[in-house]
Amino acid sequence: MSANEWRKLFPILDQEVNGKPLVYLDSAATSQKPIQVIEALDKYYKEYNSNVHRGVHTLGTRATDGYEGAREKVRRFIGAKSTQEIIFTRGTTTAINTVARSYGMANLSEGDEIVITPMEHHSNIIPWQQVAKTTGATLKYIPLQPDGTIDLVDVENTVTEHTKIVSVMQVSNVLGTINPIKEIAAIAHKNGAVMVVDGAQSAPHMKVDVQDLDCDFFAFSAHKMCGPTGIGVLYGKKALLNKMDPVEFGGEMIDFVGLQESTWKELPWKFEGGTPIIAGAIGLGAAIDFLEDIGLDNVLKHEHVLANYAMERLSELDGVTIFGPKERAGLVTFNLDDVHPHDVATVLDSEGIAVRAGHHCAQPLMKWLDVTATARASFYLYNTEDDIDAFLKGLTTAKEYFGHVF
C-alpha cells in the first residue's frame, strides 16, 4: 500500500476546511486516527464495556482480556521482556512524572545530578526541576551543537559519577533531531545513572526496542501514534519498578488494605490506581496492530522522503530559516522573514492547511534558537507530496500577503 491508500483509512482527512481540502501537517501535536482504531473504541463501548480485574461476569472478562491484551501488544511493540514492565498512564507527561515522583524523589539528594538537554519538551524538564528543588539535586544540561544535535563528547563531559538520572528525548519535536539514545544510555550506565527516554516523537514513527537501547525507562503517548488521547505508556525495567513506590493510591492497585497499613499489588498494577483507561488501552492496541500491519520501517521511510522533499521545496523560497539538522525525522520547523509564525499559520489555515505555530512546549529551546516562536509542519504516514506542494503554495501566498507590508 502507498500513502494515498493509507490516507483513505483516516475518515477525518476527507473534508474541506475553509473551503479547501484539509491538509493536516500537525501530527507531531497529535496524529489522526484510522477507522480501525475508531471502530475498536466503538465496539468496546457498544459490546463489552465493563470494569476490569473484578467482575466475575462475562463482560468483565472480555474487558479484562481486551485491556491486558493491549498490554501484551505494547510489550511486543517496544520489545520489552515482560508485560510487568508495561504501565498504562495518561500519556508521556504522566509517565515521566511517575518516574520523577517515585524514583527521583526517593533516590536523589543534595550533591546528586540530573542531566537533560536544552531541546527537551517541557514535560521532560519541569518534573526534573521539581525533583531538583525538593531533593537539593542539581539539574544539568548537555550543550547542543549549532545544528541542534548532541555530540557524545559533550555527554561524556556532562554526565559524572554524581549523575543519578539522565533523561533525553529520542526525537526532537522541534528540530527533528534523532538522538543517539543507545550511546547516551551506555554513558549514563557507566556512571551509575539510570536512563529515561521521552519517546513521544519516536515510538509513532520508528521501530523502538527498549532492550536494544538498554534504557531504564521509556515513555510515550498513544495519541501521537494513531491511538486515542488520554493514554500512554511507561516502560520500566522490572528490577527498578519493583523497588519503586506507587504515586497514586486507591482501588485497583492494592493487595491487602487494613485500617492503618496496606500492601500493593504486584507489577504492573501497583502503578495503576483507580479504574484504568480501558477503552484507551484497547484503542492503543488497535493502533499498534494498524502500525505493525503497515510496518514501522515503511512509515519511517515514507516520512524520510517527505521531510527531504519539504526541505528541498522550502529551499526554493527566499527568506526561509529552517531549524535543526539536515538528517531529521518527519518534520520541518521554520520561520519566514518578516512574517510572524502565527500569521503564517493563520494564512495557511485559510487555505485548509493545519500547521503548528508557537514555542512547541520547548521554551528553553526557543531561547537557544534565539526566537520567540516558530512554525512547524509535521508529517505522518497519511501525508503525501501533494500535501507538501499545497503547503508551499500556502507559504507563497503568506509571503505575498505580507510582502506588501515591508
Partner 1 sequence: MSSNLDQLYRQVIMDHYKNPRNKGVIEDNALTINMNNPTCGDRIQLTLKVEDGKIESAKFDGEGCSISLASASMMTQAVKGLPVEDAVKLAKIFYDMMLGNDYDDESYDLGDIEALSGVSKFPARIKCATLAWKAMEQGVGKPEEEED
Binding residues (CB under 8 A) for partner 1: these are 18-19, 340-343, 346-347, 350, 357-359, 363, 366, 372-373, 397, 401-402, 404-406
What is the Cβ-side half-sphere exposure of residue 246, based on CA atoms within 13 angstroms? 24
Nearer to partner 1, 60 or 364 (CB): 364
Residue placing its CB nearer to partner 1 in the complex, 190 or 342: 342
**DSSP output for 189-215:** HHTT-EEEEE-TTTTTTS---HHHHT-
In terms of CB distance, is 292 or 338 closer to partner 1?
Answer: 338
Q: Is the backbone peptide bond immediately before 11 cis, with ω within 30 degrees of 0?
A: no
Residue 346 Cβ vs partner 1, minimum distance, rounded to whole Å: 6
- Judged by beta carbon, residue 279 or residue 366, the one nearer partner 1 is 366
Minimum CB distance to partner 1, residue 363 (Å): 7
Q: How far apart are CA 215 and CA 211, in angstroms?
A: 7
Strand order in the sheet with 320-323: 320-323, 331-336, 374-378, 356-358
Cell (9 digits) for 196: 529515561
CB 359, min distance to partner 1, A = 4
Q: How far is the CB of 40 from partner 1 (least distance, A)?
A: 31
Cβ atoms of 360 and 26 closer than 8 Å: no
If the CB atoms of residues 252 and 343 are measured against partner 1, the closer one turns out to be 343
Taking the C-alpha atoms of residue 42 and residue 142, their distance in angstroms, rounded to an integer, is 45
The enclosing H or E element of 63 equals: helix 58-78
Q: In the complex with partner 1, which residue's Cβ is closer, 114 or 362? A: 362
103 DSSP 8-state letter: I
Q: How far apart are CA 364 and CA 109, in angstroms?
A: 25
A 10 A CB-CB count for 387 gives: 23
The whole-angstrom separation of Cα 35 and Cα 56 is: 32
H-assigned helices in 79-180: 92-98, 105-107, 126-135, 152-158
Kindly state the smallest distance separating residue 338's Cβ from partner 1, in Å. Answer: 10
List the catalytic residue out of 305, 361, 371, 373: 361
CB of 22 to partner 1, least distance (A): 15
280 versus 341: smaller Cβ distance to partner 1: 341
Pairing mode, strands 113-116 and 374-378: unpaired
Shortest reach from residue 342's CB to partner 1, in Å: 4
Minimum distance between the CB of residue 32 and partner 1, rounded to whole angstroms?
Answer: 19
CA distance 355 to 18: 14
Cβ neighbours of residue 266 closer than 8 Å, sequence gap 6 or more: 84, 255
Three cell numbers written together for 66: 481486551
215 given a catalytic annotation: no
Phi and psi angles of residue 72, each rounded to the nearest 5 degrees, phi first: -65, -40
Cα distances (Å, whole numbers) of residue 12 to 4, 9, 389: 14, 9, 20
Please give the Cα distance from 373 to 83 (Å, whole number): 41
Q: Which is nearer to partner 1, 21 or 55 (CB)?
A: 21
Q: Which residues are catalytic?
A: 361
